[in-house]
């Protein structure tokens, strides 16, 4: 989506290394979601951020929302092979959630043992 850009498109890291994925909107964000997807499978919800400056963590994954920059980052600490997959950011752009979120094109993460 051009309204929601993810970077990088793909990432290959050595097990144990940290990494960051970014998601940037060209318009005002009303909610930002991170999902993980294994190839050929459905989407697993990771985190939802709604307020500027909000930061949430789950196990070794931390997500932050910078409202001024209209950007969110997803940081994985000490990556493991189980972190491999496609990470998608989704956002409510222009209005609050009404089932019409916009999604980025995804970041494919490979973790080498």
Partner 1 sequence: NAGVTQTPKFQVLKTGQSMTLQCAQDMNHEYMSWYRQDPGMGLRLIHYSVGAGITDQGEVPNGYNVSRSTTEDFPLRLLSAAPSQTSVYFCASSSSYTEQFFGPGTRLTVL
- Footprint on this chain of partner 1 (rule: CB under 8 A): 1, 6, 9, 31, 33, 35, 40-43, 45, 48, 50, 88, 90, 96-106
Taking the C-alpha atoms of residue 65 and residue 75, their distance in angstroms, rounded to an integer, is: 12
Q: How many residues does the chain have?
A: 113
CB of 43 to partner 1, least distance (A): 4
Q: Which CB sits closer to partner 1, 13 or 48?
A: 48
Q: Which CB sits closer to partner 1, 42 or 113?
A: 42
Q: Which CB sits closer to partner 1, 56 or 75?
A: 56
């Amino acid at each position: 989506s051009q309204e929601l850009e993810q970077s990088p498109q793909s990432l290959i890291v050595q097990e144990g290394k940290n990494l960051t994925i970014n998601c940037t909107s060209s318009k005002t964000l009303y909610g930002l979601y991170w999902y993980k997807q294994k190839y050929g499978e459905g989407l697993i919800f990771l985190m939802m951020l709604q307020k500027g400056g909000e930061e949430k963590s789950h196990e070794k994954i931390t997500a932050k929302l910078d409202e001024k920059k209209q950007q969110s980052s997803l940081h994985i600490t000490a990556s493991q092979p189980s972190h491999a997959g496609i990470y998608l950011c989704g956002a409510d752009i222009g209005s609050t959630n009404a089932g019409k979120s916009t999604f980025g094109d995804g970041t494919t993460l490979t973790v080498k043992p």
